Amino acid sequence: MLTVTSVNVNGLRAAAKKGYVPWLAATAADVLCLQEVRAEAAQLPAEVREPAGWHTVHVPAAAKGRAGVSLCTRREPERVRVGFGSAEFDGSGRYVEADLPGVTVASLYLPSGEVGTQRQDEKERFLAEFLPYLVDLRKRAEADGREVLVCGDWNIAHQEADLRNWKANQKKSGFLPEERAWLTDVLDENRGGYVDVVRALHPDVEGPYSWWSYRGRAFDNDAGWPVETDYSTG
């Protein structure tokens, strides 16, 4: 069994000051997917950049202090790929994948967007390019007898059960009809062919959530979103 952990660290240098290194030393995970690393490898302390017992790949964004994804694996990957063949997004620190025996694991930081702004336009362009890649990745994996697990910060809630206050968020980025339809395509067995791992493990319930706003005691009231989630072909 392979144990994979996915975390939006909101700045890996900041996380290092809050116990990241001892946490990493104690975790039983085989693979760690990080998002919003917000640092180049040279800016990270040695014990964070190359932790003992791990093979690491850090993918910073060309824009300083933004985005960034990382993968840490106990076992040396057979292959690592940065980006998904996009002229616009491969330098934005949003996607990295690694082949391990029998499985490809990816760390994704999908753009968050904001309705009525260029950020939402950027998100829509990302979605348009990324879905064909996911479809192709699944087909290639099937041909090779492999599974695929795409972990990370997807910044889209698919169903009403996936966020606490869904009625108030219907016109906000992250729960727009077109974004939800895109995720439906990802999960359609005749299109993307992926499975929402969290929803498969927790069917017919509200939540569980993995992100809470700092506002309005959202964490105390469990008024969250499913920002961190995993999609698998298995």
Interhelix angle 118-144/177-187, nearest 10 degrees: 10
- Locus of tokens 């996911």: 134
My answer on whether omega of the bond before 101 falls inside 30° of 0, hence cis, is no
Q: For 70-84, 108-122, 166-180, 217-231, which range has the lowest pLDDT when averaged over its residues? A: 217-231
β-bridge partners, 79: 99
Give pLDDT tens digits for 25-71.
Answer: 999 999 999 999 999 999 999 999 999 999 999 999 999 999 999 99
Q: How much is the pLDDT for 198? A: 84
Say how many C-beta atoms besides its own lie within 10 A of residue 11's C-beta.
16
SS3 label, residue 97 = strand
Q: How far is CA 60 from CA 6, 8, 159, 199, 201, in A?
A: 17, 14, 31, 30, 32
Judged against a pLDDT cut of 70, whether residue 233 lies above it is answered with no
Q: Which residue among the candidates 90, 153, 196, 230 is catalytic per the annotation?
A: 153
Judged against a pLDDT cut of 90, whether residue 146 lies above it is answered with yes
Give pLDDT tens digits for 184-217.
Answer: 999 999 999 999 998 888 888 886 776 555 555 5
- Of residues 169 and 79, the one with the higher pLDDT is 79
Is 153 labeled as catalytic in the residue annotation? Answer: yes
Q: Where are any strands of DSSP class E within 25-168?
A: 31-35, 55-59, 69-73, 79-82, 95-100, 103-109, 147-153
β-bridge partners, 31: 4, 73
Pairwise CA distance, residues 148 & 57, whole Å: 18
Give pLDDT tens digits for 122-145.
Answer: 999 999 999 999 999 999 999 999
Q: Name residues whose C-beta falls within 8 Å of residue 150's C-beta, 6 or more positions apart in sequence.
A: 97, 106, 108, 134, 194, 230, 231, 232
